[in-house]
């Protein structure tokens, strides 16, 4: 039987622990951009990829969080949140479970843990953005009461010009 757990990552090695899963998530998104949205070559100079990985440091700051779901000893899922410029609001980022580990409740557990940890950090709401083809993620977020909102300041999707293919959600904690 598969045994999984969720770990809070801290310290200088945290980024290296999740980098392979972040890489898989990024590659999956690029493939889906091309297939589902007809958007090819989304990062010709590599700057978006660098920003994507650099953001990991924000998850490790005070009031941030970086979680890794491990199945046996392998990292199979990730989830994070970071502070925003809106008082008492965190932004949930990088929710992803590798395809081979799906269907085991890992995504729900990661999301629930992020919400619990955000409350413990004193946040009263979370916001997030999800792409139009991420229907399972949208169902998960809406199942706990997240509601659609307008694009928010600091949105990664707005910064890279894909806001039309993005759904923005907010959940009061």
Amino acid 41: pLDDT = 63
Q: Strands across the sheet with 89-97, in order?
A: 4-8, 65-71, 74-83, 89-97, 125-131, 166-172, 147-149
Amino acid 47: pLDDT = 62
What average pLDDT does the structure give for the chain?
A: 89
Regions of the chain where pLDDT drops below 70: 1, 41-53
Q: How many Cα atoms are found within 13 Å in the side-chain-facing hemisphere of 163?
A: 11
4-172 has which CATH code?
3.40.630.30
CB under 8 Å to 23, separation ≥6 — which residues? none
d(CA 59, CA 66) in angstroms, rounded, equals 6
Tokens of 23: 């890489």
Amino acid 51: pLDDT = 65
pLDDT digits (tens, 9 = 90+) for 75-117: 999 999 999 999 999 999 999 999 999 999 999 999 999 999 9
The answer to whether 164 touches 151, Cβ cutoff 8 Å, is no
Tokens of 77: 């899922």
Amino acid 22: pLDDT = 85
**Which residue reads 């992020």 in tokens?**
114
């Amino acid at each position: 039987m598969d045994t999984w757990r969720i770990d809070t990552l801290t310290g200088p090695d945290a980024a290296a622990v999740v980098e392979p899963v972040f890489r898989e998530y990024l590659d999956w998104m690029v493939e889906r951009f091309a297939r589902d949205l007809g958007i090819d070559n989304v990062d010709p100079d590599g700057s978006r990829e660098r920003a994507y990985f650099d953001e990991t440091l924000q998850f490790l700051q005070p009031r941030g969080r970086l979680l890794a779901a491990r199945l046996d000893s392998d990292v199979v899922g990730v989830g994070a949140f970071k502070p925003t410029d809106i008082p008492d609001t965190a932004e949930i980022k990088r929710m992803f479970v590798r395809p081979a580990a799906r269907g085991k409740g890992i995504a729900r557990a990661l999301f629930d843990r992020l919400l619990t940890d955000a409350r413990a950090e004193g946040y009263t709401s979370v916001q997030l953005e999800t792409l139009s083809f991420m229907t399972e993620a949208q169902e998960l977020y809406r199942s706990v009461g997240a509601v659609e909102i307008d694009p928010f300041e600091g949105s990664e999707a707005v910064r890279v010009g894909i806001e039309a293919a993005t759904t923005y959600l907010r959940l009061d904690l």
